[in-house]
Structures are given as C-alpha cells and as structure tokens.
C-alpha cells in the first residue's frame, strides 16, 4: 500500500482550461494556497476532470503519480469542485523497471539455453548422421563381380522414418542398384563371350563339314558335290559372259584296279 503524496481540491472548471485553481490552504506546503493556479497536467488537457472515472498515471515535475478524481456536488446536484488524490508511483515504477529488467534478462537466458539445446539436438539428430553418411559414401568403390560389403555400400545403424532416414535409405538403395547393375552387365558380358565362342565353334564345325563334303576323304580330290557346285558356278558365269575355263581330258587305264 502506497502513501498518499498529494490531496487537494480543485475548483470546477471547463475542459478547455489550461490551468486549475486549488482551494487547499496547506501550511506545510506553501505552494498550495487558496486560489493558487497551476498549469493543468498534459494528460488532463482537453478533459473534464469531473468526468474522469479511472485513475491516471503520469510522469512530470513531481515524479510518477497515480491521480484519481472525484467530483463534489451541492444539494442541487451541481458539481462545485473536484477532490484530487495523487499516489506516489516512483517505487512502483522502479519495481516495474526492475521487473522488466529481470524479465528481459530471464528471457535472454532462456533464449540462450533454448538455442544451446536446439544446437545440441540438431547436432545429434542431423549433423552427426549426415557427417557419418558422408564418410561412408566416400568409401563406396563400385566394381563388377563384387558384393555390397566389398563395394563399401553404406551400412549404418539408422532406423528412422524422418528426412534423415529417407536420405540414408535413398543413398543405400542407389548404391545397391549400381552394384546390381554392374553385376548384371558382367553376367551379360560373360553370356555374350560364351555366345560368341559358341558361334565360332559352330562356324568351325560348319567349315569342317563343308570341307569334308567337298573333298573325297580317300583321295583328297573334289567330291561329286564339289564338281556339281562348280558346274553351277560355271553355268552362271557363262550366262553372265564371264566364263574363262579349259577342259582337260585324261584317259587312265585300269582305273578300276587302282580304285579297288
């Protein structure tokens, strides 16, 4: 509870007045004498103090004051004067400023603590997992015909359903797909080499069969099939006008005996 600093009676005036006349004769306060005029506080300019219902807090030459006013009426219901009471608010305002200072200090300390905790949380849940994934990614060496472990596919104990878990699963899936693709290419390449070798073997067999069909195995001379093919070739050259050949006839006696 704060003490009353000033108690006075002000003559009822107009709201447009810039001064108030005080009706208190206080021997201990020479400034307050009957009929003393004093400039109206800036907060009260343009106001009818008899109509003021709520206290007004002001700061002026007298320090911080909380002013309350109550009109006094005569028997005819006319306002004859206004009783004013000023409570000293310096202590209250000092306490308010102190409270605001501690409130600001507390908010600042709280903000710092929250930021430190947030940084610790972010470092633990975001920064460290990303750093670990970066280190593991640098170990990835894809090649053909190797396992995931040999290729250095990322393998960390991250079992999360948030963005970090999505990034980890995406990286691991990409690396495993690369290894699978390289192994598939290697298998296809092996199949291709085997197919090419099979084709070469087949061609070799075909050439060998063709040679066997065109030569007599006993004498090594051309077979009937070879001579028939040669006749077809000569007939085609004759038709095209490009045939150049000679006939040699040899009469061999006792050939049957040689054959036998």
**Contact yes or no for 79/50 (Cβ under 8 A):** yes
Quick check: 10 pLDDT over 80?
A: no
Cβ contacts of residue 176 below 8 Å, gap of 6+?
148, 153
Residue 31 domain flag: yes
15-24, 69-78, 139-148, range with the lowest pLDDT: 15-24
Q: Which domain holds residue 240?
A: 222-259
Residue 51 domain flag: yes
Residue 195 domain flag: no
Same domain, 28 and 64: yes
How confident is the model at residue 1, as a pLDDT?
44
Same domain, 8 and 79: yes
237 or 148, greater pLDDT: 148
With bands split at pLDDT 50, 70 and 90, how would you rate the model's confidence at 28? low
Same domain, 68 and 11: yes
136 or 86, greater pLDDT: 136
- Mean pLDDT comparison of 38-42, 110-114, 131-135, 145-149, highest-scoring range: 110-114
How confident is the model at residue 212, as a pLDDT?
62
How confident is the model at residue 5, as a pLDDT?
65
Residue 216 domain flag: no
Q: Mean pLDDT over residues 116-140, rounded?
A: 91
Same domain, 118 and 83: no
Same domain, 84 and 8: yes
Predicted confidence (pLDDT) per residue in 70-104, tens digit: 888 888 888 778 887 878 888 888 888 899 999 99
Final residue of a domain: which of 142, 166, 190?
166
Same domain, 74 and 115: no
Quick check: 187 pLDDT over 80?
A: yes
Which tokens go with 233?
Answer: 């070739």
Same domain, 161 and 119: yes
Cα separation, 186 vs 211, whole angstroms: 37
Residue 18 domain flag: yes
Task: Work out the number of other CB atoms within 10 angstroms of the CB of residue 180.
Answer: 11
Proportion of the chain above pLDDT 70, given as a percent: 85
Same domain, 8 and 55: yes
How confident is the model at residue 34, as a pLDDT?
63
Residue 95 domain flag: no
Residue 172 domain flag: no
H or E element, residue 91: helix 90-122
Same domain, 20 and 72: yes
How confident is the model at residue 158, as a pLDDT?
86
Task: Work out the number of other CB atoms within 10 angstroms of the CB of residue 142.
Answer: 13
Residue 182 domain flag: no
Final residue of a domain: which of 53, 88, 123?
88
With bands split at pLDDT 50, 70 and 90, how would you rate the model's confidence at 238? confident
How confident is the model at residue 257, as a pLDDT?
76
Handedness of CA 241, 245, 246, 252 (dihedral sign): negative
- Indicate the number of domains in the chain: 3
Quick check: 213 pLDDT over 70?
A: no
Final residue of a domain: which of 137, 166, 195?
166
Same domain, 13 and 68: yes
- Write down the residue that tokens 């600093």 correspond to: 5
197 or 240, greater pLDDT: 197
List, as one string, the DSSP characters of 229-240. HHHHHHHHHHHH
């Amino acid at each position: 509870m704060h003490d009353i600093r000033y108690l006075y009676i002000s003559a009822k005036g107009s709201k447009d007045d810039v001064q108030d006349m005080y009706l208190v004769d206080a021997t201990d306060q020479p400034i307050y004498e009957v009929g003393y005029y004093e400039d109206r506080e800036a907060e009260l300019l343009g106001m009818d103090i008899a109509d003021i219902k709520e206290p007004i807090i002001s700061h002026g030459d007298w320090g911080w004051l909380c002013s309350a006013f109550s009109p006094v009426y005569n028997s005819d219901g006319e306002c004859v004067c206004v009783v004013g009471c000023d409570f000293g608010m310096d202590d209250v305002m000092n306490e308010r400023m102190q409270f605001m200072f501690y409130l600001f200090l507390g908010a600042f300390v709280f903000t710092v603590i929250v930021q430190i905790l947030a940084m610790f949380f972010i470092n633990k849940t975001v920064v460290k997992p990303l750093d670990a994934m970066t280190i593991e990614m640098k170990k990835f060496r894809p090649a053909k015909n190797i396992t995931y472990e040999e290729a250095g596919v990322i393998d960390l104990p991250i079992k999360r359903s948030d963005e970090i878990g999505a990034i980890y699963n995406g990286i691991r899936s990409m690396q495993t797909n690369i290894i699978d693709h390289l192994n598939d290419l290697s298998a296809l390449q092996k199949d291709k080499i085997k197919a090419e070798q099979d084709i070469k073997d087949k061609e070799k067999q075909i050439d060998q069969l063709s040679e066997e069909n065109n030569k007599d195995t006993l004498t090594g001379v051309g077979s009937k099939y070879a001579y028939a093919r040669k006749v077809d070739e000569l007939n085609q050259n004759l038709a095209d006008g490009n045939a150049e050949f000679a006939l040699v006839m040899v009469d061999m006696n006792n050939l049957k005996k040689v054959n036998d």
